[in-house]
Structure 1
């Protein structure tokens, strides 16, 4: 089968299309023929090696995490799916990738594709949907009437998280460039900061929670807008010791992550707020709940561009520019 692979970490990862053996499945897995694969910023970060102590690949490794496709084979212990089912899933942190013609997916990571979405639309959902669900609902326990700050509202995470936060009854603040104000307003954002002309940390106040999505000093600046007792859940780091312990990493790495996050944890404690790093996990049951929201028209995927499979590397390069309004998707086959 054809797959987009990288052969090493670092500045020369040798990313390109390769021919690999078709995956074999375990008893609790399904083999999916992929019709579309959604891209995420972490796909480019993985290649650089930032998470090589946490994510374990065998080279050449297949890139990508999000997928939508059709089940072509099921393992002997699989009960929820059968050949011919249209499914969507994330395989992030499972040592495999989705930018390929086929992928083996644990039954527990997959859900039936939303009936009202095509494969391209469905492939845009898994990681941003699961990340939003796990941070806003599970980690923040966001309640009606609370205020949550979701920076970079026009990006892949932002466009989904704003919609979910509004469904949870929260008021949403975000940052965008001038040209994207109407996009995020249409998704439900309340306080919209044009980052080219305003500083959010000097404008917003009284927030209950922050979803950290922007690298740099944005997480530290967001401390200024939180109420005492508020919380920050960061997707971009710094990584904290609690994450290291949850991944059962060795004591040295736990100490290193503690050192990396010492400043933000100290500042958070001084402000009376809680800081945590979040690493999304595949979860088919949560995807099934997200599917219901999509089928009910309560959330919609936002897609910036669709690239053909032979331009998958160019799609990753485009995503790295940071200009996408919503998701970038690679289409592997024509819509059936």
Structure 2
């Protein structure tokens, strides 16, 4: 079968299409014939080795973290899923490989796609949905009635995080471009700031929690609108000591992440708040809950109009790295 692979970590995008054996599912795995694979910034980080201290891989590495497809075979101990079922998954961190014609996935990491979505649309849900769900419930521990701010939340992450937060009874404020305002408000945001016209740090009252989508340079301004005791979760700024401790990482990694994240923790202490970082994990039970919310709210993720095939995976990656997107980028297999 065809698969998109790298031979080593590198800063350049030089992904190769290779012929590799079709995987055989183990007793607890489902073999998925991949129909669509979503392309995410995480895939770029897998290429350049940005997350190798958190999750390292042997080479060659088949890339791809998020898929939708059809069950082609099931292991001996799989009873919930059957051949022909349409399913999707954020693949387990230690066994990615969605940029391939087939992928074998532990049954605990998949669920049935939402009934109203096509396989193409469904490919955009698992990773962002689980990031939002785990971020809200585990890292931020935000409660009904509290206020969440998502600066730069008008893209693919916001389109999942806003309705999930609304379902949990959370007030959501988003900043982004004017073109996305109507769509994000329709998903349940209580307030929308046009970043070209309003500086959030001058107009917002203190909020209970923030999900940072912009990175380290934005943290000082974002921390400035947090209530004392509030939490900021970054999707991209980087891990800290708490991240390592919570995951029982080895002492040397805990020390290293503690040093790397010291400036974030120090900034948080100055604002009497807490800093958190997330690298989302696979979880089929959580994906089941997300699917229910997606169906109840009839959420339809935006998909970028430019759909690629596997032979043009480098073009898709370049678009995610440098392009202006109108939704999640997907690869059709």
Scaled by the length of structure 1, the TM-score of the pair is 0.93
2: distance between equivalents of 1:12 and 1:224?
36
What's 1:15 paired with? 15
- What are the residue-to-residue correspondences of 1:274-313 with 2, within 5 Å? 274-309=274-309, 310-313=311-314
- What are the residue-to-residue correspondences of 1:230-309 with 2, within 5 Å? 230-309=230-309
What's 2:327 paired with? 326
Answer yes or no: is 1:42 the counterpart of 2:47. Answer: no
What's 1:90 paired with? 90
SS of residue in 2 equivalent to 1:255: helix
SS of residue in 2 equivalent to 1:239: coil
The 8 Å contact of residues 215 and 234 in structure 2, kept in 1 or not, is answered as no
1: distance between equivalents of 2:11 and 2:196?
31
1: distance between equivalents of 2:317 and 2:189?
28
The 8 Å contact of residues 223 and 271 in structure 1, kept in 2 or not, is answered as yes
Alpha-carbon offset, residue 92 of structure 1: 4.5
The 8 Å contact of residues 13 and 317 in structure 2, kept in 1 or not, is answered as no
Alpha-carbon offset, residue 49 of structure 1: 1.0
SS of residue in 2 equivalent to 1:304: coil
- What are the residue-to-residue correspondences of 1:167-186 with 2, within 5 Å? 167-186=167-186
What's 1:25 paired with? 25
Alpha-carbon offset, residue 94 of structure 1: 2.3
Structure 2: runs of 5+ lacking an equivalent? none
Alpha-carbon offset, residue 144 of structure 1: 2.9
2: distance between equivalents of 1:75 and 1:246?
32
Answer yes or no: is 1:144 the counterpart of 2:144. Answer: yes
The 8 Å contact of residues 220 and 264 in structure 1, kept in 2 or not, is answered as no
The 8 Å contact of residues 154 and 326 in structure 1, kept in 2 or not, is answered as no
CA RMSD of aligned residues (A): 1.8
Q: Per-residue CA shift, 1:68-100, capped at 9, x if unaligned?
A: 111111112222212121111111412321111
What's 1:166 paired with? 166
2: distance between equivalents of 1:54 and 1:264?
18
2: distance between equivalents of 1:296 and 1:18?
41
The 8 Å contact of residues 126 and 287 in structure 1, kept in 2 or not, is answered as yes
1: distance between equivalents of 2:308 and 2:263?
43
Structure 1: runs of 5+ lacking an equivalent? none
Scaled by the length of structure 2, the TM-score of the pair is 0.93
2: distance between equivalents of 1:62 and 1:284?
22
Task: State the 4+ residue runs in structure 1 displaced beyond 6 angstroms.
Answer: none
SS of residue in 2 equivalent to 1:5: strand
1:199/1:213 CA distance change after superposition, 3 Å: same
What's 1:101 paired with? 101
2: distance between equivalents of 1:256 and 1:265?
14
What's 2:206 paired with? 206
SS of residue in 2 equivalent to 1:44: helix
2: distance between equivalents of 1:122 and 1:191?
27
1:287/1:306 CA distance change after superposition, 3 Å: farther
What's 1:4 paired with? 4
1: distance between equivalents of 2:122 and 2:269?
40
1: distance between equivalents of 2:315 and 2:151?
26
When structure 1 is superposed on structure 2, of 321-330 and 67-76 the one drifting more is 321-330
Alpha-carbon offset, residue 261 of structure 1: 1.2
Q: Per-residue CA shift, 1:192-248, capped at 9, x if unaligned?
A: 222234322222222010012112322232111111121112211331112223443
When structure 1 is superposed on structure 2, of 297-306 and 252-261 the one drifting more is 297-306
Answer yes or no: is 1:225 the counterpart of 2:225. Answer: yes
Alpha-carbon offset, residue 56 of structure 1: 2.5
Alpha-carbon offset, residue 40 of structure 1: 1.4
1: distance between equivalents of 2:323 and 2:252?
33
